[in-house]
Amino acid sequence: MKRLTLSATVIVAGFGASHADAQAFKGTDVLEFVTINIIANCPAATGVTYLGGGSGIAENAMAATPPTQQIAPMTRKIKCALADVNPGSQGQVLGYDGVAMLTSSCSGEAAGSLCEAYSAASALGSYVWQGGTDSGVYPIACDKLRVLYFGRDHFNTDLAPGAPQHATSGCNSLLRNQLVNSWGKLFDGAQSPTCTQLNHAFRLDDVSGTTDTLRSVCGIPASFTFCNGTSTQDNDPIRRTASSASYDTARADGTLGLVLPVTVPRSTNTYSPGAPAADSCGAGGIASQAGTRCTAGVFIFGAVPGLGACPTGLPRLGGTCLIPAFRATATSTPDARCVNASSNKPAGSAPVSDGRTFNLFAHNADGSLITGFTSGYYRTHESRAVVGSGCKQTDTVQQLACLVRADQCSEGFAGREALNEPNILDVKLAPRAANGATPSSDCLAPEPASIAAGTYPLSRKLYLNTLKGFANVTGEEADLVACFQDEALVEAAMSANNFIPDPAVGIQTENFSAANCF
């Protein structure tokens, strides 16, 4: 069942507007609907609402001076540096989840047919896929993911023999180019006649708990940056042409990088007005109802981040840029909430520039940036799709899954709840199996049994965490803790959102320390 999508504005209005002492606390977006469910069934915590935002943001709120909250749903343990100075740190195990690797069923693959098995046939040149040599042992499934997202193999093929490990990025290495330019090298198992190379690898933002989990399981330290850069950048040296028939966003040169970050702002103006067309693999073409198109030749002055030239090369005027707008009639007030075409640019724009660069910024009607804007790559298929409808989800995980589905020959990582999205398939992953093993014996799906047992390589526990100890939590958050310790309530909420309830009998609480931390 597809999850209910709620914005933070609706949550506050629905639960906290009538309470003068209402407290909106932060936590992982992955557990947003679990937490909302528990709050709704916790009468004593009537003044508590949930804003989400990410595990890292929530952890910072608990560690602030003074703290702005006492508890937080998170997808990982407390960081070791905080556990060291907060000896009361604890976490209640809510259940389990797996970081799922996603592809689109619209590519023609059969369910369960694709796996990253690292067989001998998938080796590239002299490179042999391994389960870690540079930063300790990690699942063999991580080797391709490290190369794909970070350009980091276990000895960095860009460097001469004997050179220091990881002295330079391998994002444009021969190994990475060979991997992503051959669908058959990236995946083992049945192959699609449609896909010859990987189009994009979508990823969650830098503060996502799912990103933290991927780094932790795969031995990827914070100093290793994604090949695209930060959550606001598109710096991947491997470029893909943004076809005008398939993409709503592009750089000025008409391309997008292989790795793209997805962060959907929590705002009522996240997208242009208009409902997406029906979801179907066979629809094809442009989903005409998915977004309001900017009117050709209509521009207003609006906000664009940065200090340099405007998106198509024009200078700024008073710090603002001319941006495209929609005008219903000749006398209507222009509205900047629209999707621009590649050819629609202000007069004087650089000859080699693309009007879709304006879509990388989400505006209010008056041209101001929407609240919480980070980057606009989440709009890549707002009104267009290689197959099916445009993507206009208000939840980041759901939008990432929609982009993978629409972008046909692409991949992405997200929490297991992303598998609820239509036409999404999971990619099976290899644990620490011997090279050369067949895909059927080498790969595991993110299924409940393998995740709860820890055999699925990208599995994780989900927690309700505190830095001060649950016995010391006060106020309405203490009332909420009591509801989180209602085992039947938590298990029902976890199951309803496609998570795996803790199979242990009773509430399991972990004390975080130097020996048990993130």
Dihedrals phi, psi of 369, to nearest 5 degrees: -70, 145
Q: According to the model, what pLDDT value does residue 258 have?
A: 98
Q: Is pLDDT of 17 > 60? A: no
Dist. CA 432–CA 440, nearest whole Å: 14
Q: Which of 102-111, 218-227, 374-383, 464-473 has the lowest mean pLDDT?
A: 102-111
CA atoms within 13 A on the CB side of 261: 26
Percent of the chain with pLDDT over 90: 50
CB within 8 Å of 210: residues ≥ 6 apart? 30, 75, 99, 204, 397, 413, 414, 415
Distances, alpha carbon 517 to alpha carbons 137, 158, 217, 510, in Å: 18, 34, 13, 10
Output the pTM of the full model.
0.78
CA atoms within 13 A on the CB side of 380: 37
Q: Is pLDDT of 414 > 90? A: yes
| pLDDT mean over 347-376 | 95
Q: According to the model, what pLDDT value does residue 29 have?
A: 84
Q: According to the model, what pLDDT value does residue 277 have?
A: 66
Q: Is 310 exposed, middle or buried (0-12, 13-18, 19+ CB in 10 A)?
A: buried
Q: Identify the three-state secondary structure at position 117.
A: coil
Q: According to the model, what pLDDT value does residue 134 have?
A: 66
Name which residue leads in pLDDT, 170 or 199: 199
| pLDDT mean over 369-388 | 88
Distances, alpha carbon 75 to alpha carbons 52, 95, 213, 405, in Å: 12, 10, 7, 25
| pLDDT mean over 428-451 | 69
Angle at alpha carbon of residue 176, lines to 173 and 178, rounded to 5°? 105
Dist. CA 417–CA 4, nearest whole Å: 12
| pLDDT mean over 439-465 | 83
Q: According to the model, what pLDDT value does residue 435 have?
A: 44
Count of other CB atoms within 10 angstroms of residue 134: 15
Name which residue leads in pLDDT, 343 or 385: 343
Name which residue leads in pLDDT, 95 or 246: 95
φ/ψ region of 57 (left if φ > 0, alpha if ψ in -120 to 50, else beta) reads alpha
Torsion sign, CA atoms 190, 191, 194, 195: positive
Q: Identify the three-state secondary structure at position 195.
A: coil
Percent of the chain with pLDDT over 70: 85
pLDDT band at 1 (very low <50, low <70, confident <90, very high): very low
Contact 383, 390 (CB under 8 A): yes
pLDDT tens per residue across span 270-323: 999 987 766 677 655 565 567 899 999 999 999 999 889 999 999 999 999 999
pLDDT tens per residue across span 175-222: 888 889 988 888 876 566 678 899 999 999 998 878 988 988 888 888
| pLDDT mean over 371-384 | 92
CB within 8 Å of 361: residues ≥ 6 apart? 303, 304, 305, 311, 323, 369, 373, 376
Peptide bond just before 193 cis, omega within 30 deg: no
| pLDDT mean over 165-175 | 65
| pLDDT mean over 152-169 | 52
| pLDDT mean over 438-444 | 62
